[in-house]
């Protein structure tokens, strides 16, 4: 703990923090509800399918998917097992490292992401972009990378110890 005196939030900072906190709780839940309602999947599954569908290679190492998503490998490992059981991905031996494996979209996985993407993109557009003016979007584009950089500077960004 720092030895200097605590800098408490001003009233306006406290109000903004509460709004940010509510967004951080509500938006992921809303996104999961949208994906579950429209595509019978959660955001984690969608994220993995999106990374695989956008890859230039036909398959990826799980570590590369974890890096792309900035997730812990154990979190991804559990999710991949469930996705494989649902027929969304397949695992095959890694040709460059026989101890590891690669993951690829199955035909069902590709169909699932292709069917889910339009309604999910609509959700993102309607929820985030349509609700902001151009100047508000510009402020968010400026502010969010600075907040992420502050996390990284403190060693608190995902994927760091």
Residue 148: pLDDT above 50?
Answer: yes
Number of domains in the chain: 2
Residue 25: inside a domain, yes or no?
no
Residues 137, 67 share a domain? no
What pLDDT, in 10s, does the model give residues 57-103?
999 999 999 999 989 888 899 999 999 999 999 998 777 766 678 99
To the nearest 10 degrees (0 to 180), the angle between helices 43-54 and 73-85 is 90
Residues 147, 75 share a domain? no
Higher per-residue pLDDT: 110 or 1: 110
Q: Which domain holds residue 149?
A: 131-161
Q: What angle do CA 127, 130, 132 make, to 5 degrees?
A: 100
Residues 118, 48 share a domain? yes
Residues 122, 135 share a domain? no
Q: What is the pTM of this model?
A: 0.85
Residue 103: inside a domain, yes or no?
yes
What mean pLDDT comes out for the span 42-52?
A: 96
- Is residue 52 within 8 Å of 109, Cβ to Cβ? yes
Residues 135, 122 share a domain? no
**Paired strand residues for 93:** 101
Query: Any idea what the CATH number is for the domain that residue 68 is in?
Result: 1.10.10.10
Residues 87, 76 share a domain? yes
Residues 79, 153 share a domain? no
Residue 13: inside a domain, yes or no?
no
**Paired strand residues for 90:** 104
Of 52, 47, 45, nearest in space to 107 by CA: 52
Residues 117, 136 share a domain? no
Higher per-residue pLDDT: 149 or 73: 149
- Residue 75: predicted pLDDT: 84
Residues 44, 103 share a domain? yes
What pLDDT, in 10s, does the model give residues 10-20?
999 999 999 99
> DSSP letter string over the chain?
--SSPP-PPPHHHHHHHHHHHHHHHHHHHHHHHHHHHHHS--HHHHHHHHHHHH-SSS-B-HHHHHHHHT--HHHHHHHHHHHHHTTSEEEEE-SS-TTSEEEEE-HHHHHHHHHHHHHHHHHHIIIIITTS-HHHHHHHHHHHHHHHHHHHHTT-STT--
End-to-end CA distance of the chain: 18
Residues 118, 39 share a domain? yes
What mean pLDDT comes out for the span 25-35?
A: 96
What pLDDT, in 10s, does the model give residues 98-127?
667 899 999 999 999 999 999 999 999 999
- Residue 161: predicted pLDDT: 40
Q: How far apart (Å, rounded) are the C-alpha atoms in residues 153 and 143? A: 15
């Amino acid at each position: 703990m720092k030895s200097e005196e605590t800098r408490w939030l001003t009233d306006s900072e406290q109000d903004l923090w509460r709004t940010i906190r509510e967004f951080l709780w509500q938006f992921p839940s809303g996104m999961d509800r949208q994906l579950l309602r429209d595509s019978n999947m959660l955001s984690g599954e969608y994220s993995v399918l999106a990374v695989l569908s956008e890859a230039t290679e036909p398959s990826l190492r799980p570590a590369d998917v974890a890096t792309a998503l900035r997730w812990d490998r154990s979190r991804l490992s559990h999710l991949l097992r469930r996705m494989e059981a649902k027929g969304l991905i397949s695992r095959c031996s890694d040709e460059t490292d026989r101890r590891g494996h690669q993951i690829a979209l199955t035909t069902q996985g590709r169909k699932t992401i292709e069917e889910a993407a339009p309604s999910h993109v609509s959700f993102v557009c309607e929820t985030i972009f349509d609700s902001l003016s151009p100047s508000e979007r510009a402020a968010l584009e400026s502010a969010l990378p600075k907040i992420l950089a502050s996390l990284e500077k403190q060693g608190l960004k995902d994927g760091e110890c």
